[in-house]
Structure 1
Amino acid sequence: MATDPSPAPAFALGTFSPVGGVPFPGLVTGEDVLDLRTAPGLRSAPGANPHTRELLERWNEVLPVLRDLAAEGTGARHRLADLRVHAPVQPRQILQSGANYRTHVIDLAVAHEPEDGRPAEQVRAEVAAMMDRRAAEDQPYVFIGLPSSVTGPYDDVVIPSWCTKPDWELELAAVIGEPAYRVSPEQARAHVAAYTIANDVTARELVFRRDMPEIGTDWLRAKNAPTFTPLGPYLVPAEFVTDPGDLQVTLSLNGRVMQDESTKDMIFDVTHLVSHISQTVELLPGDLVLTGSPAGNGMHWGRLLRAGDVMEGAITGLGTQRNTCVAEEA
C-alpha cells in the first residue's frame, strides 16, 4: 500500500462536510478539523459563500491567521474521521505539464510500439536525446485541463463505456495564491500558496488522433471525463514543502507499487512551469499547475485500469488519496 513516510505538516487546508451536510473550508491539525466559516479573523463578506478558493484569494492575509488558529487549538472542531473529504479546491483553470519526467516519456515511447518497427533501443535513445534537447531549449509543454474532471481524494473514478485503456498518472500539483502574470522563475515561488496531489487519469487510446496525425494529440477526450482528476486530500501550505523538487511520488494499484519516483526526475521544476505558463495565461487564486507524472504508468507495466481496481497515491508530506475504479452505468 502507498504510504506517506514523512511527518504531517503543522496544518493543512481542505474542504469537508458532515454526512448529508454542506461542504465547508476546514483547517486540518492532526485528526481534527476546524470549521473556518466562523473562525476569528477569517469571516467572509456578508452573503459570501466561503470556500478554500476564497481564502486563497487573500492568502497573504489568511496564512498568518491559519498559523495562529493551528497553534491555539481552539474553536469548533470536528473529528476528521467523521467527515467526508472533498477535493480541497475548485480551480478556475488547470494547466498540465506534459512530458516533464525524463524516464516516464522514454518508457511511454517504447510502450506505444512505433508503427515503423524501430527497435526499442533505438526509440529509447532517440527520445532521450529529444528530452535533453527540450531541457536545453527551456520550453515546457503545457496543455489545458477542465475543472469538471476534478473529484475528491477518496471518490470513485468512473471509467466511461467508451474508454478502453484507462491509465493512472500521479502528479505533484502547485496551487496558486497571488495572481501570476508574466513572472520570472525567481518570482514564481511567491505565487504558489500550497501543494496537493493530483491523479491525471488518461484514456490512452485517445491521446493521439490517428485520423488526423498532422494535428497530434486530443487532450479533451483523453483526460477530461468526469472524475478523471482525483485531487487532494489537502492543500499543504508551501512553507511546509521545503523542496518540491525532491519529493517521492508513489502510486500503488491493489497494493502493488507501480509508481515510485522522485520529483528530481522533472525536466522543468515548479518555478519554471509557473513562469512559463504565466507568460501567456494569468494564473488565478486556486488554479492548479500539474507538474507531470513520473515513470510507472499502466502502459509501461502492460496493466491498465479495470473496474474494481483501487489506486492509492501519496507524495511526501502531502498525504494519501485512495480511489476505487468503477464502470460507468449503462
Structure 2
Amino acid sequence: MTFGLGTFARLDDVFPGLLVDDRVIDLRRALDREDLTTLDLLRDWDRTLPLLRSIAESDSPAIETTDVRPLSPVQPSGQIICTGANYTKHVTQIVYTMTKNQGDARTDEELREFAAATARARRDDPPFFFVGLPSALAGARDDVVLWGPHEQHDWELELAVVIGRRTHRVPVEKAMDAIAGYTISNDITVRDAMFRRDIPMTDFLHSKNRPTYFPTGPVIVPTEFVPDPSRLRIRLSVNGELMQDELVSDIIQGIPELVSAASHVTVLSPGDMILTGSPAGNAGHHGNRWLRPGDLIESSITGLGTQRNLCVAPVADDDFAPTTTLA
C-alpha cells in the first residue's frame, strides 16, 4: 500500500489529509487533533510515518478525491530552494540556443558540441540555487495566472524533495536521511522578465515568484515508496502536446548532493522544499511556444500523481487567492 500526505480543501474547510488510492482521510479526525497541519506532522516525521502507515491500512472514514481540492501539500509553507541548470539535455539546449541567438559564427555542429561540453562541465561545479517565495505556491488543480505586463510565460516541471528533519551542513552520504518525501512542482517562469536592461542581474522575483507560479503537489509521497528517484519520469504537456519527457537520471547534481549543498548554505527545516531542476523541453525549444490564457498544462511524475492547471488572464481583485476553474 502506498499513500501520500497533503493539504486539502472541502468548501471552506482546510485540513491535512492522507491520500490512499482515490480517497482522502482527514488526519485531524484520525489523530484526534483539530488544529493539526501537515507541517506539524513533518516536524515529528520519525513518529508521524508509522502513524500514517497504520492509518492507511485502517478502515478510517474517507472522502472521495472528487469532493476535495488539493492545495500545496505543506501548510504553512517553509523555505523554497530552487535549482537551476541541473539537467544535461536542458543545459545543452540553453547554451546552444543562447550562443546561436548571439550570432556566434561557429557551425551548428560546433555549437552543439560546445553546448554539450558545457553541460558536461557542470558536473564539476556546485549547484546553482535561488530562492522561491511561499506566496507563489498553488495547488495541483489551481489556475495559473499569466501576470503581465510580460508575455513569455514558460513551464519548468520539477521533482521536489520535502525535508523531514532539521539539517545543517550534512555530508552527501547522510543527506537522504533528511528527506521526508517527494512531490511535484512546476516552476512557471516569465522569460522576458528575467533580465533587466538597467542592471546586469537576473530578476527572479518578477520572473518566478508571482502568485500561482509554483503549482505544487498534489501530495508528498514518502521516500520509502520511491526507492530510486533517478528512474522517475517527468512529463508535461500543453493542450495535449508533449513538451517535456525525461528521466530524472539526466540530472547533473543528484538529490543527495543538492540537499548537502543547500544545507551548507542555510539551515533546512521540516517542510522546506528543494526543487531539483527542470529537464529539457521548455518553450524556447518548441519554437517560443509561450503559455497563453486557455492553455491546459497537464503534468506528472511517476508515482507522485498528476497536475492539471488551466492558464488564465490576470484578475483585478486585490484580495487575490488561487482558484480552480477545472471540473
TM-score normalised by the chain length of structure 1: 0.90
1:264-315 alpha-carbon deviations (Å, 9 max, x no partner): 1100111100000000111111111000000011111021100000000000
2:79/2:132 contact within 8 Å kept: yes
1:122-141 alpha-carbon deviations (Å, 9 max, x no partner): 4433332222222124x111
Secondary structure of the residue that 1:161 maps to in structure 2? coil
Aligned pairs for 1:119-134 within 5 A? 119=106, 120-134=108-122
Q: Quick one: distance in 2 between partners of 1:166 and 1:51?
A: 33
Q: Quick one: distance in 2 between partners of 1:110 and 1:204?
A: 17
Name the residue aligned to 1:271: 256
Q: Quick one: distance in 1 between partners of 2:291 and 2:170?
A: 39
Q: Quick one: distance in 2 between partners of 1:275 and 1:21?
A: 39
1:111 aligns with 2:97: yes
2:92/2:118 contact within 8 Å kept: no
The one of 141, 156, 159 equivalent to 1:169 is 156
Name the residue aligned to 2:22: 31
Name the residue aligned to 2:196: 209
The one of 137, 150, 163 equivalent to 2:137 is 150
Q: Quick one: distance in 2 between partners of 1:294 and 1:211?
A: 30
Q: Quick one: distance in 2 between partners of 1:296 and 1:115?
A: 21
2:194/2:203 contact within 8 Å kept: yes
The one of 209, 221, 231 equivalent to 1:224 is 209
Aligned pairs for 1:1-330 within 5 A? 10-18=2-10, 20-39=11-30, 42-44=31-33, 49-72=35-58, 74-90=59-75, 91-112=77-98, 113-119=100-106, 120-137=108-125, 139-213=126-200, 216-302=201-287, 303-329=289-315
1:74-115 alpha-carbon deviations (Å, 9 max, x no partner): 223111111111111142210001000011122123334432
| Residue-pair matches, total | 312
Secondary structure of the residue that 1:285 maps to in structure 2? coil
Amino acid in the other structure paired with 1:135: R
Q: Quick one: distance in 2 between partners of 1:256 and 1:205?
A: 23
The two structures, once aligned, show a CA RMSD in angstroms of 1.6
Secondary structure of the residue that 2:165 maps to in structure 1? coil
Shift of 1:10: 1.4
2:96/2:115 contact within 8 Å kept: no
Q: Quick one: distance in 2 between partners of 1:43 and 1:129?
A: 56
Shift of 1:21: 2.6
Shift of 1:43: 4.4
The change in CA–CA distance for 1:118 and 1:142 in structure 2 (over 3 A counts) is farther
